[in-house]
Structure 1
């Protein structure tokens, strides 16, 4: 699964580069890692973590442990070259084989498994592995080689009997928690990374499942000489013993950093004898956790003495000397990693393929939405049932046009959960260097087009003819066009707001508010000419619902006449009044609308849709979490 080779020095134009192949990673070390943040009360710098040194060799597993708030996740993110916490200052020196790697090189040779499984629930185990390989390796190795690698990993992680099983969704049961964690790790190993970061890999699992997951990782790490660094919270004794090294933190400082086998002797020498038949992991965590201490001052003094004891220890001195030696002899060249990578042109196609499978299997994504729109169409068609073309129904036709466009747009909020799931997966895959926001946004837009068009057709076939709108094929297809543009704009708005605030309740509230705003200023509630100047010039002219309403109104009334009824008292004066009829253009005139501007309205709609997508892309580009 890995390449072989050696380090070569090649001179480029203006800079030297150490070319490193997959088999060359021997050690990963860090020196004086510190993260500070400004204290809210004192406004002075406050250490989150400080003075952390360490080294992991190929094939070793390091357990990063400590009580809640000790800085485990922050340190893991720093080591993985990921953003730590907003508003912090980070200082560190990270080395691979004694050389400082460039960021892109480091991301290519490492993988990060999140605490939460960012998996597509509607994919099978084999499909999950297949798309992980496609996004990482397409174009760099042959299809047969990818399949061999997939089969090997599935077998290595004991998932052979689940290859055709779905990962699982809230509606459809799938893999167990332990199987999902194994699949998450396996999918990150598809590129044969040499450094694997695991954030709480046993979170939410029982002791048996936790052992199962870590044991599989250990087997792979030993076999392929992978460096593993895992933050872990109070593992069982058997799980704890699977690790080679322990880095114990408390209040952002090191309490112990060395072999697992030496933990008992080290603390015994420091005056803290470990009782028989106790889980060593529980013992050391309880020892350095002062959050629940009865005597806080005494516990704080004890913790401080443990931290100082480590700083004075022979082990700490040896580790500092080793880190300092690496720092002093660090290569000044950039480390370039020769790594298998995916073909950038194939990534959007792979994302579209994956999204297509997800969309037709995931009932929440489009199935429920189609059912909702069908229900709305039946309700609308039967409420405005077979309206006659007389002047008493003109207001009803106008109301129906507003209702059809506005509420079809409003119901796009149902897409929020599906998009947030896609976005979560995008954030994980982007952090691992697989692709950027452009590929994601293009794939997201393209995959939505056919489904939105199907929704538009199904809704229109029912609502348009039942309501007795203009009886012509031309009128029907123009209605379909406007409704399709309406849905494209509404879904683009959902993408923008959900990218800006990726929290379901807030995104739902923001989208509902935005739709309420567009309904209010689209020209139906208050005609454009009499709309308050602020709302008219600030919001009305960028209101996509307003252009949809205009287009539908022109489609319905621009080529239709209405009977004035008995007594020929026409509500809207027109040139046909002497024939006891109303020219539909007279209705348009009351709104300030004219025929002949439809092409311009379509252009405005396309600009708005593109604008929403570009803004959504900008938000995704700027936000990395």
Structure 2
């Protein structure tokens, strides 16, 4: 993987002029322009007020809590993301791993342009430039929770979306044909006349619901597709088929695909080109998925017996308190090295430009462990 600049093609013709003339090729054709996504030192902090809110007042009214002190009234700042860095290129499929509450959804919302405010710092770049409206129009985001009309059929749902989201330069018939093309591409033909349904209305299966949500975004032929835990609630087979479809979008159609996933099987894990491992908002690893086990073994973390790499990474990210002290110590060594040695920082930057780099953090960790071992 390289951090080389990709020519910025976002200053060309209007979006409508960039769309394929044949609506049936909306999904099969490559994106109008490739998007190389980079996020550098991304941090996100939120302010949490003390017990002076409504819940605190209610507790005091019942006599369950004393009047808050000045210290309780103060505002606390909580860090959700802390210095997360990574990159994904066109044609690559990246997975964001981590336990619940590690910051996966926050990171995806940030890179998709859905998170704003003073609490968000760092650089998020599309083709080495700040994302523009053109970029956001070419970005598809699939939320974790499906937001679908339960009384509409699959075909009605996607035709409705096509009529609203596709450009006016296409006729009504062209938009309908585009919806039918997406239905065929995602294997929804068998259920296209079945209502979506919900808890109270019998409808399509969970895997089919996820594919309908993905079809929402594929109608615009996005260059960047971001998905928040698309396999949640699916069985192993349905999750595998869904991830296979996403991998095909990246490898065959050249899209940039980023997804968070909670606990993938070993077969699913092997489909990811790159893996970003988060723990409490910090990046423990970023690099090729096949290199993850070897890297952690090199710094002293290895499983006692052969196991699913994803399970091992999640166990490490969700470490026990005594193990977290070791991880925090590694982070402190990394920070000390960065602050004291600009030469080391340049060496890490050069490593990022190598075709087969693991991650800056991996380079920092390896060097830090070597240095600490030599000192002992």
TM-score by length of 1: 0.45
Structure 1 residue 6: deviation in Å? 8.5
Match of residue 124 from structure 1? 153
Contact 1:133 1:190 in 2 (8 A): yes
Match of residue 97 from structure 1? 127
Question: Using the alignment, how far apart are the partners of 1:191 and 1:76 within structure 2?
Answer: 19
Contact 2:227 2:258 in 1 (8 A): yes
Q: Partner of 1:149: helix, strand, or coil? A: helix
Q: Partner of 2:180: helix, strand, or coil? A: helix
2:81 to 49, 52, 57: 49
Match of residue 137 from structure 1? 166
Matched, 1:80 2:112: yes
Q: Partner of 1:23: helix, strand, or coil? A: coil
Structure 1 residue 44: deviation in Å? 5.1
Match of residue 249 from structure 1? 278
Contact 1:253 1:307 in 2 (8 A): no
Matched, 1:35 2:44: yes
Question: Using the alignment, how far apart are the partners of 1:310 and 1:64 within structure 2?
Answer: 22
Match of residue 195 from structure 1? 224
Question: Using the alignment, how far apart are the partners of 1:143 and 1:30 within structure 2?
Answer: 39
Structure 1 residues 111 and 9, CA gap change in structure 2 (3 angstroms):
closer
Structure 1 residue 23: deviation in Å? 2.9
Matched, 1:58 2:129: no
Contact 1:76 1:199 in 2 (8 A): yes
Question: Using the alignment, how far apart are the partners of 2:318 and 2:265 within structure 1?
Answer: 18
Match of residue 300 from structure 2? 271
Contact 1:114 1:198 in 2 (8 A): yes
Q: Partner of 1:120: helix, strand, or coil? A: coil
Match of residue 341 from structure 1? none
Q: What does the per-residue CA deviation read over 1:14-45, in whole Å, with 9 as the maximum and x for residues that have no partner?
A: xxxxx998432241111111112235467454
Match of residue 498 from structure 1? none
Contact 2:146 2:210 in 1 (8 A): yes
Question: Using the alignment, how far apart are the partners of 1:319 and 1:203 within structure 2?
Answer: 38
Select the structure with the greater relative contact order (CA < 8 A; seq sep ≥ 6).
2
Q: Partner of 1:248: helix, strand, or coil? A: strand
- Alignment RMSD (CA, Å): 3.0
Correspondence 1:256-405 to 2 at 5 A = 256-290=285-319, 293=320, 296=321, 298-305=322-329, 307=331, 317-318=348-349
Question: Using the alignment, how far apart are the partners of 2:171 and 2:221 within structure 1?
Answer: 15
Q: Which runs of 5+ in 1 are unaligned?
A: 11-18, 323-625
Structure 1 residue 91: deviation in Å? 0.8
Contact 1:124 1:167 in 2 (8 A): yes
Match of residue 142 from structure 2? 113
Structure 1 residues 144 and 234, CA gap change in structure 2 (3 angstroms):
same
Q: What does the per-residue CA deviation read over 1:551-602, in whole Å, with 9 as the maximum and x for residues that have no partner?
A: xxxxxxxxxxxxxxxxxxxxxxxxxxxxxxxxxxxxxxxxxxxxxxxxxxxx
Q: What does the per-residue CA deviation read over 1:393-417, in whole Å, with 9 as the maximum and x for residues that have no partner?
A: xxxxxxxxxxxxxxxxxxxxxxxxx
Question: Using the alignment, how far apart are the partners of 1:157 and 1:318 within structure 2?
Answer: 40
Question: Using the alignment, how far apart are the partners of 1:307 and 1:68 within structure 2?
Answer: 21
Structure 1 residues 309 and 272, CA gap change in structure 2 (3 angstroms):
farther
Q: Partner of 2:252: helix, strand, or coil? A: helix
Question: Using the alignment, how far apart are the partners of 1:257 and 1:6 within structure 2?
Answer: 25
Correspondence 1:472-491 to 2 at 5 A = none
| Matched pairs, number | 303
Contact 1:53 1:320 in 2 (8 A): no
Q: Partner of 2:134: helix, strand, or coil? A: helix
Question: Using the alignment, how far apart are the partners of 1:160 and 1:319 within structure 2?
Answer: 49
Greater helix fraction, Structure 1 or Structure 2: 1
Q: What does the per-residue CA deviation read over 1:68-103, in whole Å, with 9 as the maximum and x for residues that have no partner?
A: 22111111111111136xx8611131211112122x
